[in-house]
Amino acid sequence: MRKAKQFPRRGLRFRSLLILTGALMLLAAFAPRAKADLLAYFNFEGPPTPPYPVNLESEVPLGIVTTTLILTDENGNPYPAANTSAEAGLPLNRAPGDPDPNLTSLGIHRAGEHTLNMDIPMFSSQGIFGVTAVSFAYAANGNGYAFVQLQFSSNGGVTFQNISGLIALPPTPGSVIAISVPNGTTIHVPDLVLRLQFSGGQSNGNDLQNQFDNIQVLGYMIPEPATVAGGLLGVLGLCWHQRRRLIRSVRFLRV
């Protein structure tokens, strides 16, 4: 009886190496990079977003997320537009490559009347956002807000959890507040909403008390587990197809 030809052991090792290499290359593509991406960016330039006197739309393509800043008070009601104004831009925390002239910042008056919530919806049907930091330019011109706290919602803004503690806002004509987000906080939150909550306002006067500008959300776009699994199956299928071609080539060479 004729003995069947066997695939060489070296070929088997090559096949296994090919499959492993393909899988590792795919996982490397999905792994976070050392430098975070700009996910969302608000510089308040452009046409105003009614009823507010500044533009609350995110700047795309500087940031990759298309979203709108939502201003509310401590009761979840729209923040009074009468307590806001368009002021001169702050030359701090601008995103690299921002082509806008930095003419506008969001001004706040009568800060003692309400807490100010700046909500940043970051919903995604194609992936999950791994947020690493939130920062903004800030100026104090009177007895405005004394503290900021970063929060997040995992249910689309119904309830919120604290990411940071209360951070004091310095009485300065211009500074940058940067808040780090612990690793893994948002990667399992597809219905993510970030919130910057400003509190401790002490003045009900009409003078300009606070200015905010150039809000940046940094992080990564992380594929959902189903996307990763599908990609791995695709790579393994390609490797299996190449294995068959490799076997035919080796058999042809041995004839």
**Alpha-carbon span 41 to 78, nearest angstrom:** 21
Q: For residue range 175-208, what is the model confidence (pLDDT) as tens digits? A: 999 999 999 999 888 899 999 999 999 999 999 9
pTM: 0.77
**Alpha-carbon span 29 to 96, nearest angstrom:** 24
Q: For residue range 64-86, what is the model confidence (pLDDT) as tens digits? A: 999 999 999 999 999 999 999 99
- The closest of 101, 112, 94 to 205, measured between CA atoms, is 112
Q: Which residues contact 18 (CB under 8 A, 6 or more apart)?
A: 239, 242, 243
pLDDT band of 222, cuts 50, 70, 90:
confident
Which span out of 6-10, 142-146, 211-215, 246-250 was modeled with the highest average pLDDT?
A: 211-215
Q: 194-221 b/e with 16+ CB inside 10 Å = b?
A: bbbbbbbbebeeeebbbbbbbbbbbbbb
What pLDDT, on a 0 to 100 scale, did the predictor assign at position 173? 93
**Alpha-carbon span 16 to 115, nearest angstrom:** 60
In contact, 213 and 137? CB cutoff 8 Å:
yes
